[in-house]
Amino acid sequence: MTFFVKNLQTVDGLISNLYRDISVEEMTRKITGLFELQGYKVIDQQFGNLILEKGSRIKRLLLGAFTTYYKFSVTMMPGAENELTVNVFQQSSGMSGGLIGMNQIKTELQRLNFIFANI
């Protein structure tokens, strides 16, 4: 069963989705399980705030686009009528990987948009 209702906003570095009939705790468990399978380290900062990180920042600085580094923050805000707004923010620009790194971040954000739309 998908809880996704609609995409509220997608701009550079931000995805905002609306979900129904799911709690913050349940969404946190779903995101954690889903992204740990994909190699992300998920840091739960409580109260619906998560950090998704994949790869090494130091390797990215040293090797540029030849290595992977993604960092996103996720915030969840409960709303009226059993709704939940989930915002995904880009935390790394990819600048340390040059133009290739910046394109890698944009591509990963598009992939995340698809994944979050299927929750």
Cα dihedral sign, 77-30-33-97: negative
Residue 98: per-residue pLDDT: 79
pLDDT tens-digit series, residues 1-59: 789 999 999 888 899 999 999 999 999 999 999 999 999 999 999 889 999 999 999 99
pLDDT tens-digit series, residues 57-110: 999 889 988 899 999 999 999 998 899 999 999 998 878 777 888 889 999 999
Check if the beta carbon of residue 65 is closer than 8 Å to that of residue 104: yes
Residue 8: per-residue pLDDT: 95
The Cα 91–Cα 112 span in angstroms is 14
| Coil, strand or helix at 1 | coil
Beta strands in 21-119 (DSSP E): 41-44, 49-55, 69-78, 83-90
Residue 94: per-residue pLDDT: 75
DSSP label at residue 118: T
DSSP notation for 33-54 = HHHHHTT-EEEE-STTEEEEEE
Residue 33: per-residue pLDDT: 96
